[in-house]
A and B are shown apart, each in its own frame.
Chain A
Amino acid sequence: MTTTVDPAVRAAGAATRVLRVTRTPRGAGGDGGGGDLARQHGRRGRSDGFEVPAGSARTTVLDALTWARTHLDPTLDVRHACYHASCGTCGVRTDGRAVLACVTRLADLPEGDITVEPLRNQALISDLVVDIEALYEGFDAVGMPLVRESRTVPGSRPAPGVEGLTRFEDCIECGLCVSVCPIEASDAAYEGPAVLAAAWRVVEEPRHADPERAFALVDGDQGAWRCHLATECTEVCPSGALPAEGIMHLRRGLLRHRFRVAFARLRVGANGAGEPGGTP
């Protein structure tokens, strides 16, 4: 295992930390291609060490990764955008824990080398970049609008001169919940905590979306009933979207929905016995 060092940093005697980053070249991940590369490099990828400056208590894992990419190895693939936990694109695992790299400070991690790995349970594109297309397909399927009807956070006050706020959904679509879910680990067909929680938001606040469609999508063996309540999703969620609670609310909603449908059918049977095609 090698560690890449910037001689200037070493000479300056600055405080440093070593990131042990799992590397996987493009085509060797789980994206269905690159079988030869996968055999060469193994499914787990190799681990490269990068010695990075850590003098500031505010230095984040994302700062360190982008510094390593800029100064030590331009082939290191890292995805990021906003640097403040809004875009949800920089999810990684540091020392085994799924986190947003942009708000995880090196100083808050245990002493010693820091392992940095890609999120689990999502196809790997390369290095620390996972394929989020499957997650987005799930969101599209449930049809969740992004803007909430309840426009303000409870207790918040718009700044002077601001007439109103646009409040987006709490979920930032980072996929950390998918990475930590044990059911996702063993069942690729499971719809997963992020999509199920999104379905609950459609039922709770349809905003012209179709709750019936959401119910139909999640009322199956691989839907809301597949969750086994490890609740790791809620614990790891960086934006308070509470996926586990959403799934439980969804189950209760599904039960009510089933009862409503059953009673409607009974009423039809009572009102128009022997008349198939009657309307509820």
Chain B
Amino acid sequence: MSTHPDTGRGADPRRRGIAGWFDPRGRRLGGWAFALNRLSGLGVLLYLYLHLVILSTLASGAGAWNDFVALASSPVVLAFDVVLLAGLLLHGLNGLRVTLMGFGLVTGHRNAMIVALVLIAALVALGGAARIFGMV
């Protein structure tokens, strides 16, 4: 229903806007999954732009690229890689959950799916971290 032109009903200033996505009070598991999907989506989008900026250093010559590669090998940047991996996993698996439920499938197991996707993402991200830091 859209905002009523005479009464303004629907345009309630008490709506918190985007802050309402992340208010932790009274939030249940599905709400956390929703917030996580938004955050990871924004993070992945930010990474996409960052990735394009980084690739553009190739246009500045081999020296600039080698400098970036040296920076990318530092532990701090590698830690960011692990965060990126976790974000991609969470967003992708959460998207799969939303798709399944969007088709009306497994709606009775909505919370179990969230727990499962977080566990899978954590396990794969830990494995990825071990690999990225050369432990395996």
Contact = CB atoms under 8 A, between A and B. Distances in A.
A23 interface: no
B20 A248 contact: no
Contacts of B15: 120-121, 184-186, 188
Given A32-B8, A131-B9, A186-B18, A141 B1 contact: yes
Nearest to B28: A235
A151 interface: no
Contacts of B31: 180, 182, 230, 232
Given A188-B10, A230-B34, A98 B26 contact: yes
Nearest to A134: B9
Given A96-B25, A252-B104, A189 B2 contact: yes
> Which size class do A's interface residues fall under?
35 or more
B101 interface: yes
Contacts of B2: 189, 222
A185 B16 contact: yes
A29 B13 CA distance: 8
Contacts of B21: 182, 185-186
A62 to B, nearest CB: 18
By secondary structure, the B interface counts as: loop
Interface residues of B, number: 39
Contacts of B101: 229, 231, 244, 248
A232 B27 contact: yes
Nearest to A217: B1
Contact of B25 (A43, A95, A248): A95
Nearest to B18: A186
Given A30-B12, A122-B12, A185 B30 contact: no
B51 interface: no
Contact of B14 (A29, A32, A97, A245): A29
B134 interface: no
B1 A191 contact: yes
Contacts of A120: 14-16, 20
A124 to B, nearest CB: 6
Contact of A43 (B14, B20, B33, B104): B14
B98 interface: yes
A228 interface: yes
A133 interface: yes
Given A121-B14, A182-B34, A252-B103, 17 more contacts: A43-B14, A123-B14, A124-B12, A184-B20, A185-B17, A186-B16, A195-B1, A229-B30, A229-B33, A229-B102, A230-B34, A231-B28, A231-B30, A234-B110, A248-B107, A249-B104, A251-B103
11 contacts: A123-B10, A182-B31, A185-B17, A185-B21, A185-B23, A188-B10, A188-B15, A189-B10, A229-B33, A231-B110, A244-B30
